[in-house]
Structure 1
Amino acid sequence: MASETQRSSALAGGRPAPDAVEVRSALAACASLRLEVGGTAADLVDAHAVLPDGTVVIAVDAMTPFGGLLVAARGADGAVRLDLTHLVPVAVRARVRAWVTITGRVRRFDPAALDVCDDDAVMALLGLPPLALWAVEPESVRVERPGTAVEVPVTAYHTARPDPVATVEAAHLTRLVRHDAHLVRRFAALVALDLTAAARLVPVAIDADGLTLRAETAHRHHDIRLPFRVRVTDETTLDRELRRLLTGMDARRHGEV
């Protein structure tokens, strides 16, 4: 299928556009990204943080050749490019959710920005390597998925915030897959899926509004969405909504609903 470029709206149903939320969620959850400047690229691991307004802060030694490229690029439009891959955090077929590309200007990080940072952003900045900090100000944001590419308006990107589950999703999915295999069987019952016909059923996504399961057979797969009753805002609410899904399944099993 040929790629199709679309324009993401700033708001969807009164909420920030899903594409903008995905970009912010990917930046919050991904441990690594690729930085390109002056035709040279480097992979940064555990070396970025994101401020509330979407500015991406990266840690790069200014006294290295790559740091020198950043010095030379300061203030120039579109001088830096960030690439990251948003992956399903468990082992399944078709793990790539999206490829994200951000281009923009780079400058030295101004510590005065801490005055408008929330506690999470401050802690993320404190966790960066003890190197020179640089601020990347996005000028264009692009999300690519198989068959489609979306240009996210920078205003929508700035307005959005990561999904409340983004930074804990991987841990919860890993727990479900590795330690709560019996729950997967219960989820299979919830969606009336015969596991003898599907090679496996794997939880592949959790967000503030629901859980997504992937049914994989030898030659194909499809995703099944289980919505939460209320929007999740923290881990306590997430645990409660996951239990509610199972409680609902048990009630139906016993003819109570």
Structure 2
Amino acid sequence: MSAASCPEPTPAERARSVLTAAESLTVTTHGHRVELIGLHTVDAAARLLLNNPPDGHLAAELAMAPRGDLTALVEFTDVAPVAVRERVRARLTLGGRLTVLGPKALVFHPARAVLTENDRTAVLGLDELAHSSPDPLATHEAEMLARLDAAHSDTVAPLARLLPAKRQLGACEVRPLRLDRHGLVLRSQTPDSHHDTRLPFATAATHPGEAVRQIHILLARATARPRRRRLPTRS
């Protein structure tokens, strides 16, 4: 399967995955910029339910808003769970309005989204977000990538044999970067650059157990290939 034909999540699906897996976000209004850690959830319509931060700045600003809502930006940064060069994988910015949900909660109603990753920017409408679902591995990805990296010599090093020859020969290090239902992305790093290669699964994984099985299939393919040279191991 060529790189061009490898299936991968759509920008809207990636945005929903970032929303679902993120531990923190930043809310910016006309008067404040507040970082929230572990204080939000996402509903089926892609609305963000925010626990009111302890300092109460957002609630106070809302209380003074003439129409009872505030124009706001909500920003997410998707960071690779494994130590690689340029760890920021994506940035997601939502524009919309913030309202009061209850005495201790706020709700953010997104109207648009901008997803930036791989040097590309996608502008998404509310319908695209609402009608897309997060990847089924989104909340498990960080742990699964960390486990792959911890067992580098038994997993990532053999899988690196599936990389194109030019990526193998020039690499001083290969690390797992991304995992979704369609496959695993490895980052091959040279002293002054890096390249990302998707290893597609034979069939899409609908849960972590199926993803593990698909990784084992990739490993079987990799170990059946002759080695081009000794591939770099993790330092």
- Regarding TM over 0.5, the answer is yes
Gaps of 5+ in 1: 1-14, 111-130
CA contact (8 A) 1:16 1:159 kept: no
Rate the CA distance shift 1:146–1:53 in 2: closer, same or farther, 3 A: same
RMSD: 2.7
1:25-50 CA distances to partner (integer Å, 9 max, x unpaired)?
11111111001123310100011110
Secondary structure, in 3 states, of the residue corresponding to 1:25? helix
- Report the secondary structure of 1:144's partner residue: strand
Say which is worse superposed, 90-99 or 217-226, in terms of deviation.
90-99
Aligned residue number for residue 232 of structure 2? none
Whole-angstrom CA distance in 1 between matches of 2:152 and 2:133: 30
| 2: CA distance, partners of 1:213 / 1:195 | 11
1:168 and 1:80, CA in 2 relative to 1: closer, same or farther beyond 3 A? same
1:25 aligns with 2:17: yes
Structure 2 unmatched runs, 5+: 1-6, 227-235
Given the superposition, is the C-alpha separation of residues 175 and 237 from structure 1 closer, same or farther in structure 2, using an over 3 Å criterion?
Answer: same
Does structure 1 retain, via aligned residues, the 8 Å contact 2:17–2:135? yes
Equivalent pairs: percent with the same residue? 28
Structure ranking higher on relative contact order (CA contacts 8 Å, 6+ apart): 1
How many residues are aligned here?
220
* Residue number among 100, 103, 107 corresponding to 1:108 in the alignment: 100
1:61: how far off? 4.4
Change (3 A) 1:75 1:91: farther
2:84 corresponding residue in structure 1 = 92
TM-score (norm 2): 0.83
Q: Distance in 1 between matches of 2:119 and 2:225?
A: 39
Deviations 1:193-214 (A, max 9, x none): 5867421000101011000101
Distance in 2, matches of 1:23 and 1:212, equals: 18
Corresponding residue for residue 168 of structure 1: 140
TM-score, scaled relative to structure 1: 0.76
Whole-angstrom distance in 2 between the partners of 1:22 and 1:52: 15
Q: 2:183 is matched with which residue?
A: 210
Taking a change above 3 Å as real, the CA distance of residues 202 and 59 of structure 1, as seen in their structure-2 partners, is same
Counterpart position of 1:125: none
Cα shift at 1:100: 1.0
> 2:214 maps to which residue?
241
Residue 225 of structure 1 is aligned with which of 198, 208, 219? 198
Moved more, 139-148 or 198-207: 139-148
Output the amino acid matched with 1:176: L
Aligned letter for 2:151?
Answer: H
- Quote the offset at 1:170 in angstroms: 0.6
Deviation at 1:251, TM superposition (A): 3.7
